[in-house]
């Protein structure tokens, strides 16, 4: 279960395929980002929710992913499919990915709280590590303690992590995102993707997402 900072960075790179765009490409505020980037979105997150965008801001197609950090199917997508999606669709400017939380249990909530309060440049790598190491921390005796260890390797301090876990405003914002996803798109399982308003549930292949992106551009 031991993971050095170097290993953390290596795992993040392997899983997220050198995630250098990550969440640094954000608009000034979460609410503005959602409005400006996704005009068709019926589930705009509250202002207290820091939106996370992977890809180029001016990409013509937006993919919204609703995921839970304890979901095995979500881990499959992030570990096996996302690297190619990032290389072929996101980095090339064909689409952008907006990642939103839909936690399925208390540990997914804890992981989401920590990840959303991680430094912008560390978010994508931390989430990649949570998914890559999901089989470890979800089965540990104290999952939250293991989550904290990974967060510390991402650059967060002990105080940062504790503050994130006690952040009631963020907790309520994540809950509202989850409620809005259900009411706007009928989402009740993870992962679920919304591509230009079209909803598709379950792990999707690169080819499927590519076809949806190409169809949305027509």
Closest CA to 50 of 33, 64, 36, 73: 33
Distance of CA 2 to the CA centre of its chain: 24
Note if the pTM is more than 0.85. Answer: no
Give tens-digit pLDDT for 31-61.
444 445 688 899 989 988 999 888 887 899 9
Give tens-digit pLDDT for 132-155.
999 999 999 999 999 999 999 999
Quick one: three-class SS letters along 42-96?
A: CCCCCCCCCCEEEECCCCCCEEEEEECCCCHHHHHHHHHHHHHHHHHHHCCCCCE
- 148-182 residues labelled b (16+ CB within 10 A) or e (exposed): bbbbebbebeeebbeebbebeebbebbeebbebbe
Q: How far apart are CA 31 and CA 92, in angstroms?
A: 26
Give tens-digit pLDDT for 57-90.
789 999 999 999 999 999 999 999 999 999 999 9
Collect all residues with Cβ–Cβ distance below 8 Å to 107 and sequence separation of at least 6. 69, 70, 138, 143, 144, 147
| Pairing outcome for strands 192-195 and 62-67 | antiparallel
Least confident of 21-25, 112-116, 160-164, 211-215: 21-25
């Amino acid at each position: 279960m031991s993971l050095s900072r170097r290993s953390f960075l290596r795992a993040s790179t392997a899983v997220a395929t050198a995630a250098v765009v990550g969440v640094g490409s954000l608009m000034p505020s979460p609410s503005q980002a959602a409005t400006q980037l996704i005009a068709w979105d019926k589930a705009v997150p509250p202002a207290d929710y820091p939106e996370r965008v992977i890809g180029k801001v001016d990409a013509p197609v937006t993919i919204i992913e609703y995921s839970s950090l304890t979901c095995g199917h979500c881990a499959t997508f992030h570990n096996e499919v996302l690297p190619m999606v990032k290389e072929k669709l996101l980095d090339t400017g064909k689409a952008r990915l907006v990642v939103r939380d839909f936690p399925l249990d208390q540990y997914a909530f804890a992981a989401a709280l920590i990840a959303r309060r991680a430094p912008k440049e560390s978010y994508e790598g931390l989430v990649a590590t949570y998914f890559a190491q999901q089989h470890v921390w979800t089965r540990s005796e104290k999952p939250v303690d293991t989550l904290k260890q990974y967060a510390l390797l991402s650059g967060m301090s002990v105080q940062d992590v504790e503050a994130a876990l006690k952040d009631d405003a963020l907790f309520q914002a994540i809950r509202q995102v989850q409620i809005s996803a259900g009411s706007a798109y009928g989402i009740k399982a993870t992962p679920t993707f919304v591509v230009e308003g079209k909803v598709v549930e379950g792990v999707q292949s690169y080819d499927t997402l590519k076809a949806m992106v190409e169809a949305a551009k027509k």
